[in-house]
Amino acid sequence: MLRKSFKLLLNEKLPLYTKFKGHLSTTSLVNEKWDLLTAVCLERKPVITQELNEIQKEYEELLAEVEFERSLKSDHELQHELELKQIEALKKGDSDDLDVNLKQTAQDFVDLCVEELTQFKKGSKITQDDKKNNDKSLNRKLDKHLVLLVNQKLGDQKHYLLPQGKREEGETLRQAADRVLKQCCGPNVKTQIYGNAPSGFYKYKYPKQIRNEKAVGAKVFIYFARHLEGQLPDKGVDYKWLDRQEMDKILPAEYKKSVGQLLIDE
């Protein structure tokens, strides 16, 4: 069984690797110049945990049952049992203990606690923005990862892509990523880029009319960043916070593959 799974792993990996090798050889054969671009994949972590699936729920129940079976009775349970016996005795009338009715019984205590719990209102898992499907809001799809996409003009077409920008002379890629993020998000948003190394890569060729000696296409180095706090400005930028499925619908096919590779699955 184990061996089979490893084979599976290898099979998954092989075609990618051979494809990658093919890429390398083409670029080394022809000495083309490429524009270097930096993009930032800004992701909001889920705020709440995802709902358990069926087997997880079943197993959770089992664990609770086993824990109950192995446990010993608590003081509270003992008191409750004792009180039940006393009430029985009172009903029969062979006890004249008057104190029983005066003190708080275990059942009373439980009732009080339950009442307090029902009065407490938990934060709702489904927010207003979920109902309106406001994809500009961070307060949506709390149990999912959300990625920032910005509407950008490439050539004469507009696409929703990760915020990207050209690297300027004398800048490292990381500095470019910082700059791009700041330009896109404004001063209110706090973010953290994970490391100096890019996490993903994508390249595309310009259409033949624009292609020149300076550059035949763009190589996009994607940095991964985590959103910490703050909202983007309302005006000036056309952006969307999307989860994985929504991103799949909106991104160009090849681009989607590159971005999907550096993100964790949901």
Binding status of residue 24 toward other proteins by CB under 8 A = yes
Q: Which residues contact 66 (CB under 8 A, 6 or more apart)?
A: none
Nearer Cβ to other proteins, position 76 or 158? 76
Binding status of residue 199 toward other proteins by CB under 8 A = yes
Binding status of residue 134 toward other proteins by CB under 8 A = no
Q: Sign of dihedral through CA atoms 242, 244, 245, 249?
A: positive
Amino acid at 154: L
Q: Are strands 239-242 and 157-161 parallel, antiparallel or unpaired?
A: unpaired
Binding status of residue 11 toward other proteins by CB under 8 A = no
Q: Which of 160, 221, 239, 241 is in the footprint of other proteins by CB under 8 A?
A: 221
CB of 148 to other proteins, least distance (A): 19
Q: Which of 30, 55, 98, 102 is in the footprint of other proteins by CB under 8 A?
A: 55
Beta bridge partners of 200: 222
Burial class (CB in 10 A: 0-12, 13-18, 19+), 227: buried
Q: How far apart are CA 94 and CA 242, in angstroms?
A: 71
Q: Which of 20, 107, 190, 245 is in the footprint of other proteins by CB under 8 A?
A: 20
8 Å CB contact between 243 and 141: yes
Amino acid at 201: F
Nearer Cβ to other proteins, position 98 or 253? 253
Size of residue set near other proteins by CB under 8 A: 57
- The structure tokens listed for 92 are 């029969």
Binding status of residue 194 toward other proteins by CB under 8 A = yes
Q: Which of 173, 215, 216, 250 is in the footprint of other proteins by CB under 8 A?
A: 173
Nearer Cβ to other proteins, position 64 or 238? 64
HSE (CB half, 13 Å, CA atoms) of 23?
11
Q: Which of 123, 131, 213, 214 is in the footprint of other proteins by CB under 8 A?
A: 123
Binding status of residue 209 toward other proteins by CB under 8 A = no
Q: Left if phi > 0, otherwise alpha if psi is -120 to 50, otherwise beta: which for 230?
A: left
Binding site for other proteins (CB under 8 A): 5, 8-9, 12-13, 16, 20, 24, 27-28, 34, 36, 45-49, 55-56, 58-59, 62, 69, 71-73, 78, 121-125, 127, 142-143, 172-174, 192-201, 203, 219, 221-222, 258, 261-262, 264-265
